[in-house]
Amino acid sequence: MSERQPLIAANWKMHKTVAEAEAFLGDFLPRIDDDIAAEVLICPPFLALRVAAEHCLRSRVRVAAQNMHFEADGAFTGEVSAQMLREAGVDAVLLGHSERRRYFGETDEALALKVPAALNARLQPILCVGEAGDERDRGETETVLRRQLEADLAEVPDSELPEVVVAYEPIWAIGTGRTATPDQAEEAIDHLRQLVTTRDPEAGERIRIIYGGSVSAENAAELLGREGIDGALVGGASLDQASFADIVMAAS
């Protein structure tokens, strides 16, 4: 039995105003028992982070950002640093989500700087990796995962690898309703864990690797029932408090 605590994270993407975030949390937080097994993270847009962190203060739920810059400050118009996120009460940050890679030019070079910058600021990085549909069809899934993981974690010392969470998010499963089968998810996650183990066996045992891509209240129990899958990163189904609460409970 794995010692790793399950992690369920809600990636709201560019959804919910501050008022909507408050309304969600007002309804969601009482649904979450104090003794749940899973760690729960909410990732709202930047403007709702502080309010969300204040709402979650006396709960088991923590708040994460969806992106950050690797520098502490500087002439980087439109960017936000790890230190600024910490001050807003944020505990973690999504890095390298496929939408940031695809639409906003996020590179592995930048991620190699962002992951250690987050760790140095005591923000837990949740590094997203995953292959596109055509890459899977060409049998390149493992090559793509290796390339992303090795590049993005290159500057993280082995001793800090267990503080990172990796989210396996096959691009073809994100927002499509086409979930990876539990076998597909577990196979890719096993490969990622093997890559970390090759670098450092203890880190390979301790690092949490979660799945994301069309996770729903209907399929969560089956995915989270797998030994190798340490949790879920949930997009669309996290926007509704009842459905996200059901997913959290499925991990408990």
Angle, CA 55 vertex, CA 45 and CA 100 arms, to 5°:
15
Of 106 and 169, CB closest to ligand PGA: 169
Q: Say whether 191 is catalytic.
A: no
- Residue 170 found at the interface with ligand PGA (CB under 6 A): no
- Residue 215 found at the interface with ligand PGA (CB under 6 A): yes
Figure out which of the listed residues 6, 96, 213, 231 binds ligand PGA, where binding follows CB under 6 A: 213
Cα–Cα distance between 115 and 94 in angstroms, integer? Answer: 10
Cα–Cα distance between 103 and 38 in angstroms, integer? Answer: 31
Selected catalytic residue, list 97, 99, 131, 163? 97
Of 70 and 211, CB closest to ligand PGA: 211
Of 128 and 156, CB closest to ligand PGA: 128
Figure out which of the listed residues 169, 170, 208, 224 binds ligand PGA, where binding follows CB under 6 A: 169
Rg (CA), the chain: 17
Cα–Cα distance between 93 and 121 in angstroms, integer? Answer: 11
Name the residue type at position 7.
L
Collect all residues with Cβ–Cβ distance below 8 Å to 71 and sequence separation of at least 6: 81, 117
- Residue 236 found at the interface with ligand PGA (CB under 6 A): yes
Beta bridge partners of 233: 9, 212
Report CA-CA distances (Å) from 179 to 37, 68, 98, 162, 222: 24, 28, 16, 27, 11
Of 204 and 212, CB closest to ligand PGA: 212
Q: Which two tokens stand for residue 133?
A: 């549909």
Figure out which of the listed residues 6, 44, 130, 212 binds ligand PGA, where binding follows CB under 6 A: 212
- Residue 233 found at the interface with ligand PGA (CB under 6 A): yes
Of 93 and 215, CB closest to ligand PGA: 215
Q: Of 217, 164, 214, give the one whose Cα is nearest residue 184.
A: 214
Q: Say whether 15 is catalytic.
A: no
Least distance in angstroms from the C-beta of 168 to ligand PGA = 11
Beta bridge partners of 81: 69
Stretch near ligand PGA under the rule CB under 6 A, chosen from 115-123, 157-165, 167-175, 242-250: 167-175
Contact positions vs ligand PGA (CB under 6 A)? 11, 169, 174-175, 212-215, 233-237
Q: Which residues are catalytic?
A: 97, 169
